[in-house]
């Protein structure tokens, strides 16, 4: 994704001024949060689940190269062809060459955030292949030519009137209707024809089980199963962190994923693909390809602290619970992964120079960490990315470290630290500020503060002064 001229402040202002995001978006996410809470209503069980989830994924990361090799070997044994891509460019090329080989000029796609990361649709269009998004939400935004605004509910920013207009305008023969059932029916009819005729299907992967060489896909609509069962060729895309060790690890991870994402005990479908069409089978793809993408993940992995974010299940709970995300929506982040997890991984994938500002979009309230099913310390990671942005030359570890370094800010914090270590100086300054009363010059941070709030009045006597004067024991 291009990020050269990304102006985060402008994007945030635009989003905040958008009444639809302010109203519908937050209300809709309240619904998801409520469902999650209703499902995880037993605090003890949730604690046990999250501890299990964190431990399982941490164990995977501690053996990552070994498990990926095991996954590859078992997939190949089962007849799944495994491809490796260091960059999104390589991954795109791999997908295109498979499509060319099977003569597909159209490919039906199940939901895949990795494909968004790759910018696959644009790449395929440029190379004469028509990508057809089949997840209803993805279908809507593909017609609207927009990126997803949420990891699991990509068209959350559209209301039914907009969907009605988009379908009527973009789907040949579609009548104008605001009825959600009828809108679904339009998508069903249109896409069934695509499923029936496509020569290749594409999907993401939620979990790839090393022990059995199985790709697990989680979905509610059935479009994922259509994409992976109907066309003769199936291509699955996964980030290299999606591998899990054993089949036995699946039940708790599944519960955490669907419970955290939508408050479901289980999604409608869990589709576990272990091989292409077996001997004697009448359907299922004849070829299954798995593309394992790095795209900066191995660099994240090399950082002992930030590698924690590779535990992410992409459930979206941190988005739904983030007071910033719920107000500005996904597009404001200008990146494939928005919200707290996006603000942690995007600066690492695209560089702090490009996307370091995202880490500032958090009050560090901790609501994201509280709901993360694998206990990623998101606030800590955001703090770390902020520090990386300020790192001295040669000191940071993340790509583009030091790009946010500001001499003025550094001087200000150094002066602050000096004042804070000289309590008497601090008290003099406070007294001076108190004497100024509301005549304190409104410049710098105070000016920003007073745009939406009245200026704090420095008390005539500080607590320190009153302690001395009013007989509190001090030392």
Partner 1 sequence: MNHPALSGPVRFFGTCLADAVFPDAGMAAMRILDHLGCSVVYPLEQGCCGQPAYNSGFPEQARTVAMQQVRAFRGEGPIVVPSGSCAGMLKFHYPRLFADHPQYFEVAAFSERVVEYFDFLVNVLDARFEDKGPPVRVTWHSSCHALRETGSTQAAKALLGKLCNVELVELSREFECCGFGGTFSVKRPEVSAAMARDKVEDIRATGAQVVLTADCGCLMNITGTARKLGYDITGMHLAEFIWGRINEK
Partner 2 sequence: MSSTPAREAILTRLAAACRTPAPVPAPADIWDAPELDAPKRLELLAKRLQAVRTEVHVTPEKQWKAKLAELLAARKPATLAHGTGAWFAKDLPGICKKPGMPALTPYYEDVDQFKDALFGVEASITTARAGIAETGALLLTPDAGEPRLLSLVPPVHFVVLRARDIAASFAGAIRDLKLAEAMPANLVLISGPSKTADIELTLTFGVHGPKELIALILT
Q: Which residues bind partner 1 (CB under 8 A)?
A: 9, 12-13, 16, 323-324, 327-328, 360-367, 369-370, 380, 383, 386-390, 404, 409-410, 413-414, 416-417, 420-421, 423, 426, 430, 433, 445, 448-459, 461-468, 470, 472-475
Is 247 or 433 the residue whose CB approaches partner 2 more closely?
247
Choosing among partner 2, partner 1, none, which partner's interface includes residue 223 (Cβ < 5 to 8 Å by kind)?
partner 2
Among partner 1, partner 2, none, the one that 6 touches (CB under a kind-dependent 5 to 8 A) is: none
Phi-psi label, residue 326: left if phi above 0, alpha if psi -120 to 50, beta otherwise: alpha
- 34 contacts which partner out of partner 1, partner 2, none, CB within 5 to 8 A by kind? none
Q: Which does 414 bind (CB under 5 to 8 A by kind): partner 2, partner 1, none?
A: partner 1
Packing angle of the helix pair 339-350, 378-389 (nearest 10 deg): 40
Beta carbon of residue 314, minimum distance to partner 2 (angstroms, whole number): 17
**Shortest approach of partner 2 to residue 107 CB, angstroms?**
16
Is residue 107 within 8 Å of 130, Cβ to Cβ?
yes
CA 267 to chain centre: 19
Residue 17 CB, nearest approach to partner 1 (Å)? 9
Q: Give the residue with the Cβ less far from partner 2, 244 or 458.
A: 244
Task: Write down the residue that tokens 């955030």 correspond to.
Answer: 113
Of residues 10 and 51, the one with the C-beta less far from partner 2 = 51
Quote the least distance from Cβ 130 to partner 2, whole Å: 19
189 binds, among partner 1, partner 2, none (CB under 5 to 8 A by kind): none
For residue 276, CA distances in Å to 102, 233, 259, 286 come to 15, 9, 30, 5
CB of 341 to partner 1, least distance (A): 17
| Sequence-ordered list of residues with C-beta below 8 angstroms from that of 331, at least 6 positions apart, any chain | 11, 15, 146, 147, 149, 157, 338
Please identify, using beta-carbon distances, which residue of 248 and 370 lies nearer to partner 2: 248
> For the packed helices 180-197 and 136-143, what is the interaxial angle rounded to 10 degrees?
90
Residue placing its CB nearer to partner 2 in the complex, 246 or 422: 246
Q: Which long-range contacts (CB under 8 A, 24 or more apart) does 186-193 make?
A: 187/136, 187/139, 191/108, 191/132, 191/134, 191/139, 191/223, 191/226
Strands (E), 32-125: 80-85, 106-109
What does the DSSP 8-state code read for residue 401?
Answer: T
Q: Which DSSP category does 273 fall into?
A: E
Q: Give me the least distance between CB of 351 and partner 2, in Å please.
A: 18
Q: Whose Cβ is closer to partner 1: residue 36's or residue 404's?
A: 404
b/e sequence 307-323, b meaning 16+ C-beta within 10 Å: bbbbbbbbbbbbbbbbe
Q: Residue 4's binding partner, choosing from partner 2, partner 1, none, with beta-carbon cut-off 5 to 8 A by kind?
A: none
């Amino acid at each position: 994704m291009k990020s050269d001229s990304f102006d985060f402040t402008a994007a945030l202002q635009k989003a905040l001024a958008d009444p639809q995001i302010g109203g519908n978006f937050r209300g809709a996410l309240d619904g998801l949060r409520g469902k999650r809470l209703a499902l995880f209503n037993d605090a003890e069980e949730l604690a046990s689940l999250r501890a299990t989830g964190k431990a399982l994924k941490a164990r995977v990361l501690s053996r990552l190269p070994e498990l990926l090799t095991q996954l590859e070997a078992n997939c190949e044994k089962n007849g799944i062809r495994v491809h490796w891509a260091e960059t999104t460019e390589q991954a795109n090329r791999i997908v295109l060459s498979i499509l060319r080989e099977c003569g597909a000029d159209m490919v039906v796609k199940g939901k895949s955030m990795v494909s968004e990361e790759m910018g696959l649709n644009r790449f395929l269009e440029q190379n004469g292949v028509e990508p057809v998004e089949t997840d209803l939400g993805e279908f809507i935004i593909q017609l609207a030519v927009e990126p997803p605004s949420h990891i699991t509910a990509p068209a959350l920013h559209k209301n039914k009137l907009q969907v009605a207009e988009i379908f009527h305008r973009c789907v040949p023969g579609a009548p104008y209707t605001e009825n959600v059932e009828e809108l679904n029916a339009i998508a069903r009819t249109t896409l069934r024809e695509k499923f029936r005729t496509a020569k290749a299907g594409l999907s993401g992967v939620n979990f790839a089980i090393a022990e059995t060489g199985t790709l697990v896909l989680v979905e509610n609509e059935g479009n994922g199963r259509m994409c992976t069962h109907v066309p003769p060729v199936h291509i699955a895309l996964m980030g290299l962190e999606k591998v899990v060790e054993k089949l036995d690890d699946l039940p708790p991870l599944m519960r955490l994923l669907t419970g955290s994402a939508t408050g479901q005990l289980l999604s409608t479908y869990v589709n576990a693909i272990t091989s292409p069409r077996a001997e004697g089978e009448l359907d299922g793809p004849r070829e299954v390809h798995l593309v394992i993408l790095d795209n900066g993940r191995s660099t994240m992995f090399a950082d002992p602290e930030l590698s924690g974010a590779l535990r992410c299940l992409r459930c979206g709970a941190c988005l739904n619970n983030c007071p910033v995300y719920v107000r500005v929506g996904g597009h404001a982040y200008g990146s494939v992964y928005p919200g707290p997890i996006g603000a942690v991984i995007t600066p690492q994938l695209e560089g702090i120079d490009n996307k370091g500002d995202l880490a500032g979009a958090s009050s560090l309230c901790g609501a994201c960490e509280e709901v993360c099913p694998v206990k990623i310390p998101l606030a800590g990671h955001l703090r770390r990315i902020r520090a990386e942005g300020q790192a001295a030359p040669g000191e940071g570890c993340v790509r583009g470290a030091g790009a946010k370094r500001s001499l003025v800010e550094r001087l200000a914090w150094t002066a602050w630290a000096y004042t804070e270590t000289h309590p008497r100086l601090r008290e003099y300054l406070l007294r001076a500020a108190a004497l100024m009363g509301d005549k304190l010059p409104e410049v710098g941070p105070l000016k920003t503060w007073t745009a939406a709030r009245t200026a704090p009045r420095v008390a005539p006597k500080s607590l320190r002064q009153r302690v001395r004067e009013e007989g509190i024991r001090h030392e």
